[in-house]
Chain A
């Protein structure tokens, strides 16, 4: 498959991707949603209540989570800890953290907690686009790979069946 074809498929896949935004600041959410909708994303859920994140994650099954780090009651770090047991180790399920604290320590802590990348506030929308596209692209490729693996297993099982039929 050519990368051009893939890019087109990616494009339509990306636009169908489900994105969950968790940020206690409604203004930030509005800004992000408006921008993402402008880019063609139409499957977005948001919450300003960090306590709802885990249940939203379970019910919405987003492809990507945009997670604010500094929130009252429950920090982004704590949410990352809560999400960990829900996401199997070998599954590619990206979390992109949003933070005004761009100190290396803050970034490092987010990385160590399982975040895939981060966006600095205030947002630079070229970066917003890039980070989201790149993470969704990887998730898409990961999912395609899983699908292919499954088909491959089925085909091999079929082969074995046919061959064992011959041996009888």
Chain B
């Protein structure tokens, strides 16, 4: 059941290089993911995020016009603080400082380019699974509160 939930997760890919986007999309489809949104225009990222409500964002760091770091900052401003919405950065820059910078800004994880698809699979699954547990926990808390209210009412 968890597996099918994960496969239905909505994944937004933001990368200015079309071959990268297509490669990722094809791989994810092959793995059974059905809900993939893409854009090669970094300026579209925030609008797409708002209209599509994704479960996971894959974000390239080096893009023309607006960098992934800036997009990351913009996204984190509009993502509700109480939500676990993972952003994973894609980067050819594997220096520690580049990683640290992205993580300090709120990215949950990173994948280095060129892609190692086993790694891509691991990271995406792990982040989506964490999101799943987080959402289930929120849901259970809500149900629990309702039940407690109901019991209280009945007793009184």
Contacts and interface: CB of A to CB of B under 8 A. Distances in A.
Contacts of B140: 145, 148-149, 152
B96 interface: yes
Interface stretch (A24-32, A45-53, A67-75, A133-141): A133-141
Interface string B45-62: 000000000000000000
Given A104-B118, A130-B109, A162-B155, A148 B141 contact: yes
A3 interface: yes
For A126, A127, A159, which residue has the most chain B Cβ atoms within 10 angstroms? A126
Size range of the chain B interface in the assembly: 35 or more
Interface residues of A, number: 36
Interface stretch (A33-41, A80-88, A110-118): A110-118
A4 interface: yes
A126 B100 contact: yes
B108 interface: yes
Contacts of B137: 141, 144-145, 148
B130 A2 contact: no
Contacts of B127: 134
B136 to A, nearest CB: 5
B126 A117 contact: yes
A107 B144 contact: no
A107 to B, nearest CB: 4
B151 interface: yes
A12 B21 CA distance: 38
Contacts of A156: 147
B43 interface: no
A151 interface: yes
B23 to A, nearest CB: 15
A91 interface: no
A4 B134 CA distance: 14
Interface string B68-83: 0000000000000111
A142 interface: yes
Contact of A134 (B96, B108, B116, B141): B108
Contacts of A3: 81-84
B129 interface: yes
Contact of B96 (A6, A107, A126, A163): A126
A107 B82 contact: no
A108 interface: yes
Nearest to B107: A130
A155 B136 contact: no
Interface of B: 81-84, 96, 99-100, 103, 108-110, 116-119, 121-123, 126-127, 129-130, 133-134, 136-138, 140-141, 143-144, 147-148, 150-151, 154-155
The 3 closest A-B pairs by CB, nearest first: A141-B133, A107-B118, A148-B140
Given A3-B83, A138-B129, A148-B140, 5 more contacts: A104-B116, A104-B117, A111-B122, A134-B126, A152-B147
6 contacts: A2-B82, A6-B84, A116-B122, A124-B96, A152-B147, A156-B147
